[in-house]
Amino acid sequence: MNKRILFFVTIVTITLANCSIVYRVTGKTLNSYAQDHLVPFYLASDDLDAICTGGTALGPLVASFERTGASVELATMVAQMGAGMCAEKQAQEAELLYIAAVRKGKGEEALDHQARQIRYHGVAAKRYGDAHNRFLQYFGEWNGKCPSISDDEELYYLVGLSSGLLAILHDFASQGYAGITREVPSVVAGGSKCLDSKKWWGTPLALEAVVWLSVPGATPDGKDANKQMEEAVKQGDQAGVRMSRAFQIQAAAGKGDVEKIKKLILEHSKVISQIPAKKEYLFLEAFAENLSRHESDKIWMKETGHRGPINFSSFPGKKKNNKEEDDLLKDL
């Protein structure tokens, strides 16, 4: 009897060990596939909804392979950033509905939409924060010195820094719901110096400038955050990857300067028609355009009660330059 029990235990142990090996190998294969094929596919797509939904769906699956001992930090980081964008878009929609309700004098409805907006900002902050934590797990805690980064890792380093900045901004909008630590701004500002700004379309300069603009007293003596942001935007425009414009718009929106926001949005719309986007990074382009479109829609909603043109090329009271803007109601 004892021999039979021993034999059974041995078979179970071997089976479990083999399963563990299979899971670990599968995790490594999945992580390799994600880095070699899934992430480049994501970045080349301009379909924000599909990518953010994919990040929400695949993120937990990819992350679960950590339980097998597989290293999946980079793939999970990208998935969580995509998932964060889903929550961000929901926060944007709730904000537009809030503005519309206020305009119609529907107080209770407005408060409900505002509550939803704050909650979605909180979800976005948590997801972006998790992406940033994956970044720290892979590259190590920031100690003031740049880590050794291979050419293939630089893009992930930039994504990790960007996720940290987005986590900060959304946590502020959610009234601190996600509890993003105070160390994140210093990580973003310091880590941005580890990347060549021209190689990465001015984005490292933009990340540092947004921290300076967002955190009181963060701007070093002799530095001008707005001028640095303008240089970042210039580099991004020339490269056809305008992530810097996304951060510039967010920084301006945080200050509430409507006239400046209008100016930046119109500049963004104009440059899109002049300089084609880099095909390998259409996702980042779409993200930047979505932010400008949202800020444009907010202005239109406040002033007219409806959203503005899809190419965010004009504002109420200005001469329209696109046929779709000539008469938004003619087909209704």
| Euclidean distance between CA atoms 221 and 307, whole angstroms | 41
Which pLDDT score, from 0 to 100, does residue 26 have? 67
**Nearest Cα to Cα of residue 205 among 162, 171, 167:** 162
Which pLDDT score, from 0 to 100, does residue 319 have? 54
Angle in degrees, CA 168, 173, 175, rounded to 5: 95
Q: What is the mean pLDDT of residues 19-23?
A: 60
Asked if pLDDT for residue 156 goes beyond 70, the answer is yes
Q: What is the mean pLDDT of residues 227-232?
A: 96
Contact, 211 vs 185, CB < 8 A? yes
Tokens 């008469």 locate to 327
Long-range contacts of 104-107, Cβ-Cβ distance < 8 Å, separation of 24 or more: 104/305
**Nearest Cα to Cα of residue 325 among 303, 289, 302, 300:** 300
Q: What predicted TM-score, i.e. pTM, was given to this entire model?
A: 0.86
Q: What is the mean pLDDT of residues 198-223?
A: 91
Which pLDDT score, from 0 to 100, does residue 2 have? 60
Q: For residue 143, which phi and psi values (nearest 5 degrees)?
A: -125, 20
Buried residues in 4-29 as b, exposed as e (16+ CB within 10 A):
eeeeeeeeeeeeeeeeeeebeeebbe
Instruction: State the average pLDDT for the chain.
Output: 87
From 33-37, 67-71, 295-299, 324-328, the region with the lowest mean pLDDT: 324-328
pLDDT band at 328 (very low <50, low <70, confident <90, very high): very low
> pLDDT over 70 for what percent of the chain?
86
From 86-95, 112-121, 210-219, 299-308, the region with the lowest mean pLDDT: 210-219
Which pLDDT score, from 0 to 100, does residue 325 have? 44
CB-facing half-sphere around the CA of 239: CA atoms within 13 A: 23
- 3-state DSSP assignment of residue 240: coil
Q: What is the DSSP letter of 81?
A: H
| Euclidean distance between CA atoms 170 and 159, whole angstroms | 16
Please, is 190 exposed, middle or buried when counting C-beta atoms within 10 Å of its C-beta (0-12, 13-18, 19+)?
Answer: middle
Q: What is the mean pLDDT of residues 156-177?
A: 94
Contact, 159 vs 134, CB < 8 A? no
Asked if pLDDT for residue 205 goes beyond 70, the answer is yes
Asked if pLDDT for residue 167 goes beyond 80, the answer is yes
From 25-34, 45-54, 202-211, 256-265, the region with the lowest mean pLDDT: 25-34
